[in-house]
Structure 1
Amino acid sequence: MSEKPTRIALVTGAAQGIGRAIALRLAKDGLDVAINDIASKLDELTALSNEIKAIGTGRKSSVHTADVSQEMEVKKMFEEVVETHGGLDVMIANAGIAISKSFMGTTVEEWDRIFAINARGTFLCYQYAGKQMIQQGRGGRIIGASSVLGKNGVNQDLAAYAGTKFAVRGITQAAAGELGRHKITVNAYAPGLINTSMAQGLDENAQKNHNWQPGDFAKWVSDRSILGYNGQPEDIAGLVSYLASDEAHFITGQTICINGGTYCD
């Protein structure tokens, strides 16, 4: 029996937090992993790539700096990944930012910036991944980053962010409908509050905007969780690991909640 070829994954926004955990988990699952973030995160990416290579003999990883909101940079990134690894089987469109502003306080410039990264960036990564996977003819897995706020947008300080995460849900459904006949599944994960630098930033904004004490924001969210605690990046990585697996072949077009019961759908 011939050995099954090693699959290749690309993870955007991989320098820290959820993206980093996903990249490590996929490498442990036996995939070669290309990782992306913006140029200022090169040192973190390089360290992560070395960590991935150390997971097992022959494990491969490559570093690709690009701004996912810029089409030519995304195009070049995908070309580099395919040239380096010979193809692409799993694409994780994880890159994103949060702007902590009320709906009425959000400027057009802030709105355009967050939509460019979170929504346009996801669209571009889905599209270029789809083109490559169709060309290869062996199916694939495309997975994006939505949020609990892509299911329930009621948060006074994250209006634009919620809008982008609802957009990811729609893009995910549309892409799934178009790519299914090519045996490409398209899904998204919708986390609650996860212990990352982004969560720390939200806590700091709550201190500044609402005179909360350090840690109050995380506690406010965890108190609304059925389980009574917030998540870790590895929790999201576990879900992505399954969605990227052969066993998940019958799941597509879904945005899956993973939030400790903070919001149930």
Structure 2
Amino acid sequence: MARTVESSVALVTGSARGIGKAIAARLAEDGHDLALNDIPANADLLEATAEELRSTGRKITTVLAEASKPAEVSAMVESTVAEHGELNVMVANAGIARVTSLLEMEADEWDQVLSVNLRGAFLSYQAAAKQMIAQGKGGKILGAASIVAFRPFALLAHYSASKWGVRGLTQAAAMEWAKHGITVNAYCPGIVGTDMWDLIDKKLSEEEGLQRGEALKKYSESILMGRVSVPEDVAKLVSFLASPDSDYMTGQSIMVDGGIQFS
């Protein structure tokens, strides 16, 4: 029998703001109890988000950790289980973006983006799977990929590579953990009105000699739905993937981009 949402505990990394915050809000609305995570620098924002979501009546806790550090990720999952009793849904949402040409990119910048986006997803997937296998009830693991997992953008080579990696990791994890009743899927946002895309627009505009906002406008012209997406668009997809309605789906990377790219 599928687990009801009302008995589910979800852990969402990178949930102090942006897409992560919208995902957390939607999952709380759906009936999940939540452990919210972000880095120590965002502690105040994270607690403010948690306080907002406690109005839903769900149990909301917070845990600070950096997604790229194995000991911290393990402790994050342990803290979630200590507070909530178990872990049923992992949303590995934490990520960063940098905008740099390949010819100018330093190896340290490459490593930083891959460390947070891909290594962080691997560590979150692994720690969650170990807990779910120990519980013996299956579970759902979701990762943040991107449209660039299908269609890379210039000046975002490291970001694109990291998200292609999340897509491959998701498929491999789905293959290995299906026997444990664990499904593994990724959500792939397109152009979203968040702080991350504000940074991308600023840097792309500088690189391409455009006015602020023109790069975002240029890249948005291919959106069939005629608008830049909002974090809630992504949260709706994650809501479905975290629910029993998606029990027969695994290994998929699903785009929610308004029709920029077809899979």
Normalised by the length of structure 2, the TM-score is 0.96
The answer as to 2:22 corresponding to 1:21 is yes
> CA contact under 8 A between 1:14 and 1:35: conserved in structure 2?
yes
What SS does the corresponding residue of 2:7 show, helix, strand or coil? Answer: coil
Cα deviation 1:122-160 (Å, max 9, x = unaligned): 00000000000011111111000001111112x221011
Partner of 2:147: 148
Cα deviation 1:73-123 (Å, max 9, x = unaligned): 111111111101000000000000011011222111111111110000000
- Match for 2:100: what amino acid? K
Partner of 1:31: 32
Partner of 2:230: 232
Q: Which moved more, 1:171-180 or 1:206-215?
A: 206-215
Percent identical across equivalent pairs? 45
- Match for 2:195: what amino acid? S
Distance in 2 of aligned mates of 1:105 and 1:89: 42
Partner of 1:256: 254
Distance in 1 of aligned mates of 2:242 and 2:22: 14
User: Where do residues 115-154 of structure 1 align in structure 2 (5 Å cutoff)?
Assistant: 115-153=114-152
The answer as to 2:236 corresponding to 1:244 is no
Distance in 2 of aligned mates of 1:32 and 1:194: 26
Aligned-CA RMSD value:
1.2
> CA contact under 8 A between 1:14 and 1:37: conserved in structure 2?
yes
Cα deviation 1:208-239 (Å, max 9, x = unaligned): 22221122122112211122221100000000
> CA contact under 8 A between 1:231 and 1:259: conserved in structure 2?
yes
Q: Which moved more, 1:101-110 or 1:253-262?
A: 101-110
Partner of 1:6: 7
The answer as to 2:48 corresponding to 1:50 is no
Distance in 2 of aligned mates of 1:217 and 1:95: 24
> CA contact under 8 A between 1:221 and 1:262: conserved in structure 2?
no
Runs of 5+ unmatched residues, structure 2? none
User: Where do residues 206-217 of structure 1 align in structure 2 (5 Å cutoff)?
Assistant: 206-217=204-215
Distance in 2 of aligned mates of 1:256 and 1:222: 19
> CA contact under 8 A between 1:106 and 1:160: conserved in structure 2?
no
Cα deviation 1:156-190 (Å, max 9, x = unaligned): 21011000000000100000001111111000011
Distance in 2 of aligned mates of 1:123 and 1:230: 29
User: Where do residues 38-77 of structure 1 align in structure 2 (5 Å cutoff)?
Assistant: 38-56=39-57, 59-77=58-76
Runs of 5+ unmatched residues, structure 1? none
- Match for 1:218: what amino acid? L
Instruction: Tell me how many residue pairs correspond in the alignment.
Output: 260
Give, in angstroms, the shift of residue 207 of structure 1: 2.8
What SS does the corresponding residue of 2:193 show, helix, strand or coil? Answer: coil
- Match for 1:47: what amino acid? A
User: Where do residues 192-211 of structure 1 align in structure 2 (5 Å cutoff)?
Assistant: 192-211=190-209
> CA contact under 8 A between 1:17 and 1:233: conserved in structure 2?
yes
Distance in 2 of aligned mates of 1:183 and 1:104: 44
What SS does the corresponding residue of 1:54 show, helix, strand or coil? Answer: helix
What SS does the corresponding residue of 2:36 show, helix, strand or coil? Answer: strand
Distance in 1 of aligned mates of 2:66 and 2:141: 19
What SS does the corresponding residue of 2:140 show, helix, strand or coil? Answer: strand
Partner of 1:162: 160
Distance in 2 of aligned mates of 1:220 and 1:91: 34
Normalised by the length of structure 1, the TM-score is 0.96
Q: Which moved more, 1:241-250 or 1:220-229?
A: 220-229
